[in-house]
Structure 1
């Protein structure tokens, strides 16, 4: 851990103005922890802020007064494996209970994204929660607007899907709820395009954990009039778009997912890391137990260099081959718009997505406005490879797109793929 100064005064200690200046510098949203805010204590949701005012920032880093810090110096033990019940397996496949309660169900694209209106999330029955879990697993991400659900209710709903994750490096909100991941940015933190590329913002949450998240929810409680959208991309669709030979090759691979860079970023800022960083090996293609569908499972987030991204390398292949495969998959995630959906937030909008099957990316186009959201993050099962899924369940893992085409009565004898170079005449 980076050294933290004591309360002894020193002529070499940074002065107040320099710390204020540091708090307003540009930042990389992954590498730079949220240790600054605009100091507006009249802000209606200030109890859920993660940042601190300039005065509190000085106190936290230099410990010269007795203000309560928002990055508590705690030490958590390593996470142990926990049993997780896949609630989607209890759902009515037709989701009658959930859909009958809705005023409207609208799919955003054929591949990913559904919005439901007319439902109060606070009133969901257990059967409706199970059906929501299945819908999220199938559609990747499901949106609701005008939701008055508070953070405690959001956490209770999330617990229906699994035990809640506590992040090792993100700050604790003023309300002191350790299971909440706070997304906060205001005019004091200006994104620095020189420190990250847009490709590097695509990620799946904490894939380095032994049991990464499943049905995750994010509620925006304050945001700009426009901008600050989030995009999601389907790992199912990425898999479906590959040639059968490449699909089979990827199914046999595993990759290392690392928390090290995120922990290093916290320590570089002089902040504690509450749980030591780990690296975990997961299959490159995993099967979602809720659907039985195969999904590409790699995580480009953080930095383009292999020492700074979440998915660092593919195990057991030459580095050049690993780099080429990961680069190809990362670019498919970021650049294949057919696999993506974009959501324009409003205050009290909430999204539920399945981290096992999608990746997502923020847009940092709203500065200097404020954007503030709260995330609840249930653990899922250990990622399961195609081989292990089929051995453990006796079922055959499926290609989502082929299953959809079968339901539509279409011929899938050629795997639904035609790689002819003949011009299609498609134009828009």
Structure 2
């Protein structure tokens, strides 16, 4: 398999009097860790509209596009001519030499299977950011499921389907939830409180510091496989309550713009789920949204969940870090991975972070 060596981009620094400023990825200048007046992607900055309300989500039928690739005689032909590096032997890949924007439907099906198999794939040197947002959402994101609108996050004024990843030097825009914690690490899978949580997820950045702000990913498949057979068998009998209530209450207290666009829900999912395309089993718990195991005493539930949370967080031999550089797009399968932002940069000194996530919903989890 072909490999390539990628180095981390470094910020270009300029001195202006006593104020240190940094060039943004789009060439506009920032200082004090906030976007400058000529910021190219200003229309995608977060807005918070208290009057914007959404009805409850309705169930829908989802067919994963990766299923079509199972019968493809060359299921990875979309990678022809690309350089592929394995980030670890069984989890995570990095790809250079193809453009996601040029993939046809067959190639997108192959891509969905590839991401399901590798868990997370980093695509470098993409023109994805150059495409209009209508294409990004409707021609790209909708290929993989019904687009989810996040119930509490800030959104671009005209494109609520983008979930924004945003952190600048203003305290109210800092996504590090609890300054009393020793670490900003929060391992989670996105919005698992929904009845139909996301599948193949896309994240790209408009602007980011030259270093820092990696995203950590962990294989929930390997986390499951590492457990003893008897424990795996018992866990497969259990279901877990996933809740969006705490996230909504956090916003109601005035954080992140204080917006609750859709009333929070709780849903019960199997503790172990099976991927509909690969057939692999994976743990489906995360500390951010999983609350309790159905039918167990509180102490029993807490003991099992905390064991699994610790196992996931400490599983460095089934984790990878995705490093961001300009024109990178990261895809992951939210059904079989968990991830965490790594808040090791200071926006006031290093520059602000601004990105968007496209989050198509998939099927209801089953074993």
In the superposition, the TM-score normalised over structure 1's length comes to 0.72
Cα distance in 1 for residues equivalent to 2:325 and 2:305? 34
Give unpaired runs (5+ residues) of structure 2: 1-32
Cα distance in 1 for residues equivalent to 2:141 and 2:177? 33
Cα distance in 1 for residues equivalent to 2:263 and 2:182? 27
Which of 143, 156, 172 is 2:122 aligned to?
A: 143
Q: CA deviation at 1:227?
A: 0.4
Say whether the 8 Å CA contact 2:185–2:342 is kept in structure 1: no
Give unpaired runs (5+ residues) of structure 1: 1-36, 52-69, 302-309, 386-428
Instruction: Indicate yes or no: 2:299 matched with 1:320.
Output: yes
Match of 2:154 in 1: 171
Q: CA deviation at 1:127?
A: 0.7
SS at match of 2:146: coil
Larger radius of gyration: 1
Which of 377, 380, 384 is 2:359 aligned to?
A: 377
How does 1:17-166 map onto structure 2 within 5 Å? Answer: 38=34, 40-50=36-46, 70-91=48-69, 92=72, 94-100=74-80, 102-149=81-128, 150=131, 151-155=133-137, 156-166=139-149
Say whether the 8 Å CA contact 1:250–1:285 is kept in structure 2: yes
Q: CA deviation at 1:230?
A: 0.3
**Aligned-pair Cα RMSD in Å:** 1.7
1:248/1:179 CA distance change after superposition, 3 Å? same
Match of 1:184 in 2: 166
Cα distance in 2 for residues equivalent to 1:383 and 1:128? 25
Cα distance in 1 for residues equivalent to 2:44 and 2:362? 26
1:47/1:157 CA distance change after superposition, 3 Å? same
Instruction: Indicate yes or no: 2:206 matched with 1:218.
Output: no
1:355/1:47 CA distance change after superposition, 3 Å? same
SS at match of 2:43: helix
Tell me the number of residue pairs that the alignment of Structure 1 and Structure 2 aligns: 321
Say whether the 8 Å CA contact 1:111–1:234 is kept in structure 2: no
SS at match of 2:67: helix
Say whether the 8 Å CA contact 1:97–1:127 is kept in structure 2: no
Q: CA deviation at 1:266?
A: 1.1
Say whether the 8 Å CA contact 2:34–2:352 is kept in structure 1: no
Cα distance in 2 for residues equivalent to 1:199 and 1:234? 20
Match of 1:353 in 2: 332
How does 1:228-377 map onto structure 2 within 5 Å? Answer: 228-269=213-254, 271-301=258-288, 310-368=289-347, 369-377=351-359
Cα distance in 2 for residues equivalent to 1:362 and 1:200? 6
Cα distance in 2 for residues equivalent to 1:242 and 1:39? 46
1:192/1:235 CA distance change after superposition, 3 Å? closer
1:183/1:41 CA distance change after superposition, 3 Å? same
In the superposition, the TM-score normalised over structure 2's length comes to 0.84
Q: Which has the higher contact order (CA 8 A, sep 6+)?
A: 2
Please identify, of 320-329 and 88-97, the stretch whose mean Cα deviation from structure 2 is larger. 88-97
- For each residue in 1:295-329, what CA deviation from the matched residue of structure 2 results, as whole angstroms up to 9, or x when unmatched? 0000112xxxxxxxx10001101111110111111
